[in-house]
Amino acid sequence: MSEQPEVKKSKVTEAVSAGFYKSEYGVMHNGEKVMFKHNIAFENGDKGQYSCKQESQTKFVIGNEVDYEYTGGQWPKIKPIQQNNFNGNTRKSDPEADRKRSILIIFQSFFRSSYGVSYNKRV
């Protein structure tokens, strides 16, 4: 069972390239599609791996305080927080709020469809 991601903020203390791995979502490198791994550590003690399509990442710079998403477990994962959404507004990513918003949209669609069916039966 995987852990839920947490949004955190801390200062980067280590950012080291850790090679690459084959991935269908990666970029061509030496004739293969790959993603590049980077080991990231923070002042608060969090450590994990960040994967990206660039050999030298720029999201986690030593000495900078950053917002990030941390998923613990046997192989902890680190992701940068997306700063811009499609409206151009800035907001922090909140997986729980996004999940709740998705559920509300589903219920709204369901009730709209149900109302249309019951309204058509009365006419």
Q: Top-level CATH class of 6-92? A: mainly beta
10, 67 Cβ separation under 8 angstroms: no
pLDDT at 13: 98
pTM, 2 dp: 0.65
pLDDT for 17: 95
Q: Is the pLDDT of residue 110 over 70?
A: yes
With contact defined as beta carbons under 8 Å apart, do 40 and 78 qualify? yes
Structure tokens at 101: 């918003």
Q: Phi-psi category of 30—alpha, beta or left, where left has phi over 0 and alpha has psi -120 to 50?
A: left
pLDDT in tens, 31-88: 999 999 999 999 999 999 999 999 999 999 999 999 999 999 999 999 999 765 555 5
Proportion of the chain above pLDDT 90, given as a percent: 56
Q: If you count DSSP H runs as helices and E runs as strands, how many of each does the chain have, helices first?
A: 1, 5
